[in-house]
Amino acid sequence: MSFKTLINSNVTNAFSLVGDLATNVQFTNVTVTGYDFANQTVDSTTIAPITIKGIITNSYRTNDNDKPRVNADIILKSSDIDSKVLDNYDSVIFGGNTYAINKYDDNGFIINITVGREA
């Protein structure tokens, strides 16, 4: 058995063992296509959201430049979604709140995502 196969199977086992600690994380995107000055409305398009099981490993508050923010770190299995697909999304929804995607890192086994929103 190769190490890659062994690590992938252990990641899959870890996600199944955490049970309800893994939560649904929905990836969304809204692209503004224009603004109607007469009606004062924004024209926008959306792509279909994707929902994936993820583990929220850390949730914390910051006060950068006197703007309180809530940030969180999420772990996803790389086998659940290609990180190139994440480039099409700009926000995630979990726990009833919408967070902007700040950054993500994919090592081929897990994807670490850092998200944030204003408090």
Give the whole-angstrom CA distance, residue 4 versus residue 108: 9
Residue 3 host element (H or E)? helix 3-17
Q: pLDDT value at position 92?
A: 95
User: How distant, in Å, are the alpha carbons of 32, 43, 44, 82, 104 from that of 35?
Assistant: 8, 6, 9, 33, 31
pTM: 0.82
Give the whole-angstrom CA distance, residue 41 versus residue 101: 25
Segment-wise mean pLDDT, segments of 10 residues, the chain, 119 residues: 89 91 92 87 88 93 82 95 89 94 94 93
Q: pLDDT value at position 1?
A: 67
